[in-house]
């Protein structure tokens, strides 16, 4: 097996890549990284000095691929499955990449800002930054709700890279800044994502680690079953 994915099962950006791999039954070896362990963190930094997960290592081609969108596109190109995650039509591909960036930058990143702020030492909290992040989520929710009033999937007609980005972003963002009641089209889309076997598998693998999530007390009970 040539593909190794360095990850943590709780990490939302790792979920994005896992969903892509599971959608096409792509063979790979998961390698869990505990960044709180200095030895593991140092070893991972040798692989990717930025220290961000996930990172994909392809031993067959002797390449290391960081960044979620690039990982998914790399796998789609070199280890394609039955379902392309980057549409073959160039205009459709642009839409998939656009909505991939939308969910990463305007839902995923603000969500992480809110979560990580709770981990700061007392007196180091960024209240203005958190308020701005919540405001950004509000704008993004409204845009996405309009989008899903007429689109079944984030990139258009078929599941793609964009939906891999949307699923974990909406899962965690919906906990820290709920959207279900106010945005029915976005909520219906998220429920469709939850029904996909790839998302079910990712959440099942993450469940043993949910106790580490700072907002676990706000997590809906349906996601905690068996935790």
Q: Are 155 and 164 in contact (CB under 8 A)?
A: no
Q: What is the pLDDT along the chain (227 residues), one digit of tens a residue?
A: 699 999 999 999 999 999 999 999 999 999 999 888 899 989 999 999 998 999 999 999 999 999 999 999 999 999 999 989 999 999 999 999 999 999 999 999 999 999 999 989 888 999 999 999 999 999 999 999 999 999 999 998 899 999 999 999 999 999 999 999 999 999 999 999 999 999 999 999 999 999 999 999 999 999 997 55
Q: Are 210 and 227 in contact (CB under 8 A)?
A: yes
Going along the chain from its start, the domains and CATH numbers come out as 90-204 (1.20.1050.10)
The residues near 82 (Cβ < 8 Å, ≥ 6 apart) are 24
Question: CB 206: neighbour CB atoms within 10 A?
Answer: 23
pTM for the whole thing? 0.95
What one-character-per-residue DSSP string does 130-155 give? HHHHHHHHHHHHHHHHHHHTT-SBTT
């Amino acid at each position: 097996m040539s593909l190794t994915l360095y990850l943590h099962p709780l990490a939302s950006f790792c979920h994005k890549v896992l969903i892509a791999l599971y959608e096409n039954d792509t063979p790979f070896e998961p390698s869990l990284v505990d960044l709180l362990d200095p030895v593991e963190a140092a070893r991972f930094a040798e692989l990717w000095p930025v220290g961000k997960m996930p990172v994909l290592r392809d031993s067959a081609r002797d390449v290391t691929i960081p960044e979620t969108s690039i990982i998914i596109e790399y796998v789609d190109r070199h280890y394609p499955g039955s379902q392309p995650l980057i549409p073959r039509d160039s205009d459709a591909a642009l839409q998939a990449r656009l909505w991939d960036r939308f969910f990463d930058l305007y839902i995923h990143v603000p969500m992480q800002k809110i979560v990580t702020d709770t981990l700061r030492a007392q007196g180091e909290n960024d209240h203005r930054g958190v308020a701005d992040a919540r405001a950004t989520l509000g704008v993004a929710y409204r845009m996405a709700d309009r989008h899903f009033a007429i689109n079944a999937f984030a990139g258009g007609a078929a599941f793609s890279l964009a939906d891999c980005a949307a699923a974990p972003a909406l899962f965690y963002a919906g906990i820290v800044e709920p959207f279900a009641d106010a945005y029915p089209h976005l909520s219906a889309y998220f429920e469709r994502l939850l029904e996909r076997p790839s998302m079910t598998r990712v959440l099942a693998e993450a469940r043993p680690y949910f106790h580490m999530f700072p907002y676990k007390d706000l997590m809906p009970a349906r996601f905690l079953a068996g935790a």
